[in-house]
Structure 1
Amino acid sequence: MGDWWHRNIAEPGKLPLLLALVSFLVTFLVTRSVTRLIRAGRGPFRDISPGGVHIHHVVPGIVLTVVGGFGAVGSGRHGITACVCAVLFGAGAGLVLDEFALIVHLDDVYWTEQGRRSVEVVVFAAALGMLVIGGFSPLGVDDMTAREQHDRATLISTLLVNFSFVLVALLKGKPRIAVIGVLVPFVALFGAVRLARPGSYWARRFYRRRHRARARAGLRAYRHARRWNRVSRGFQDFVAGAPNRPGPPR
């Protein structure tokens, strides 16, 4: 455990990444707590609407992300400046991704069913950050020995094989598995060998005449949704608050 901490966390240059991730998570949780208090009409917090224009927190988030990002690029990976810029970048990213659904829909869908997308993106981004801090590198290059890394043919072939797994998983309609597979190649391999999801490019292209495979893919997607949707929604409601229920049709 001590060797892992020294190699992946205490190693020079890793501290800003850790600070950015902690700042990202803390900002998201604090922001959700404040917005839930505003929604319930409790506490001193209120929406900011100068001149009648509702200023969403994605606006200061963009400012913090730009300042922290450019500052981090200019300051390098060491020193107090790099740590401060990492905190600013993490806080800005937390504010921006908390309103990811608003950016996608160009509408205030924060407390609607579409707003759940923001929570999914935040959890996904946090998971990727933890994998990077844990020492995982893109396409499994760190799994190679120093001799293999010096051998260009071995290095290139490893990258191509791992990238092919990522691409197949993406074509099979599994973007989360594909992105995680960039850092953990085994995950991409797992997504590449399993059935494609209904509606994906792979299913439309290769399952057109394979009726049994198409039926199995649909059944597996139904079982997966029935098994995990309730758990996922419960977690999202606990962390970020339940969305508004749609009113009765007029």
Structure 2
Amino acid sequence: MELNFGAGNDGLLVPVMWLFLAVLVTFVATRLITRHIRAKSSREPAEATTEVFRDITIGGVHIHHQVFGILLMAVVGVALIATTPEGTALYIFSAAFGVGLALTLDEFALWLHVDDVYWSTDGRKSIDAIFCALAITGVLIGGSEFVSGKIGSSAWWGSIGYLLLGLAISVVCMLKGKFVTGIVGVMFEPIAIVGAIRLAKPDSWWARRRYADRPARLARSQARFDDKYDARWNRMRDLVAGEHGASPKPS
């Protein structure tokens, strides 16, 4: 018996591709709509409710689009378990799950902070979450094989050991404050290795525990991950998803 996860089984390639495309297209469409709503509301708040694309409010409660994403993923999950579809039906379910995943992760920062931080600086965490989802599914399409060989065989144990080693390296990245690198590194180990070797971010767990008595290394970390570093990455996030840092606005 062989156990393969990822693109080692060619039959998994197409569903994952549809998942990837659905996440990408839904994220782009969602950000275009939310940026339109934000711009329209700031210019003509009195007429914003007449727009086709507008905030959804039921009984005075603003309904975030992550709600629709969660419901869609729940429905698709139950349908997948109940029907175990194949062929075209499986591709449709994969795409539908990708739509729900994108809608949910686009508001990752909201359910992380349990607050409406969509357009605040903390809202940029949603962009990181979407990027991780796209990177992981993209690597799966590219042919990543995680566990292979007959269960109990030397090849199987070797692949398990390699996977655990990769997870350990990714954990080091996260302890160094490099969460996106760590998550992507689970699927693409060279990224995790580079992140684990390089300096930790000054406010990370690793820096607090290991740089406390090494002022020179802490100073290097602070110099590398300074305000300019954050500003560069934030400009990239804002270019993709819209300017953050303003007062939170429902979307």
Alignment TM-score, normalising by the size of structure 1: 0.79
Alpha-carbon deviation of 1:22? 0.9
What amino acid does structure 2 have at the position aligned with 1:90?
Answer: G
In the alignment, is residue 48 of structure 1 matched against residue 30 of structure 2?
A: no
Contact 1:23 1:87 in 2 (8 A): yes
Counterpart residue type for residue 231 of structure 2: N
Q: Report the Cα offset of residue 243 of structure 1.
A: 3.1
CA contact (8 A) 1:12 1:78 kept: no
Partners of 1:166 and 1:114 in 2: CA distance: 23
> Matched residues in 2 for 1:165 and 1:54: separation?
41
Deviation larger for 237-246 or 17-26: 237-246
Q: Spell out the pairing of 1:65-80 with structure 2 (5 A cutoff).
A: 65-76=73-84, 78-80=86-88
Give identity over the alignment, percent.
Answer: 38
Shift of residue 122, structure 1, vs aligned partner = 1.2
Do residues 173 (structure 1) and 177 (structure 2) align? yes
Stretch of structure 1 that moved more, 9-18 or 105-114: 9-18
**Mapped contact 2:170–2:182 kept (Cα < 8 A):** yes
Structure 1 CA distance, aligned partners of 2:166 and 2:56? 47
Measured against aligned partners, the alpha-carbon deviations of 1:55-88 in whole angstroms (never above 9, x if no partner) come to 1111111110111223234444732221121121
Q: Which of the pair is proportionally richer in helix?
A: 1
CA contact under 8 A between 1:131 and 1:183: conserved in structure 2? yes
Q: CA deviation at 1:205?
A: 2.2
Match of 1:36 in 2: 35
Q: Residue 67 of structure 2 corresponds to which residue in structure 1?
A: 59
Distance of 2:115 and 2:206 partners within structure 1: 32
Alpha-carbon separation, structure 2, partners of 1:240 and 1:151:
43
Q: Which moved more, 1:116-125 or 1:154-163?
A: 154-163
CA contact (8 A) 1:65 1:92 kept: yes
* Secondary structure, counterpart of 2:244 in structure 1: coil
- Give structure 2 stretches of 5+ with no counterpart: 1-5, 41-47
C-alpha RMSD of the superposition: 2.9
> What SS class does the counterpart of residue 13 from structure 1 fall into?
helix
Q: Is the Cα contact below 8 Å between 2:66 and 2:107 reproduced in 1?
A: yes
Q: Which amino acid aligns with 2:52?
A: P
> What's the counterpart of residue 116 of structure 2?
108
Partner residue in 2 for 1:209: 213
Alignment of 1:66-215 (within 5 A): 66-76=74-84, 78-138=86-146, 150-151=154-155, 154-215=158-219
Secondary structure (helix, strand or coil) at the match of 2:12 reads: coil
Q: Which residue of 2 aligns with 1:3?
A: none
Contact 1:98 1:119 in 2 (8 A): yes
Match of 1:4 in 2: none
- AA partner of residue 215 (structure 2): H
- TM-superposed CA distance for 1:228, in Å, is 6.0
> Which whole-Å CA distance do the structure 2 matches of 1:107 and 1:152 have between them?
44
Report deviation, 1:95: 1.0
Residues 86-108 of structure 1 show CA distances to partners (whole Å, capped at 9, x for unaligned) of 12111111111111222122222
CA apart distance, 1:8: 5.1
Q: How many residues align?
A: 232
Q: Which runs of 5+ in 1 are unaligned?
A: 1-6
2: CA distance between counterparts of 1:153 and 1:111? 46
> Which TM-score applies when normalising by structure 2?
0.79
**1-side partners of 2:182 and 2:88: how far apart?**
35
- Shift in CA distance, 243/150, structure 1 to aligned 2, threshold 3 Å: same
Q: What residue is the counterpart of 1:237 in the other structure?
A: 238
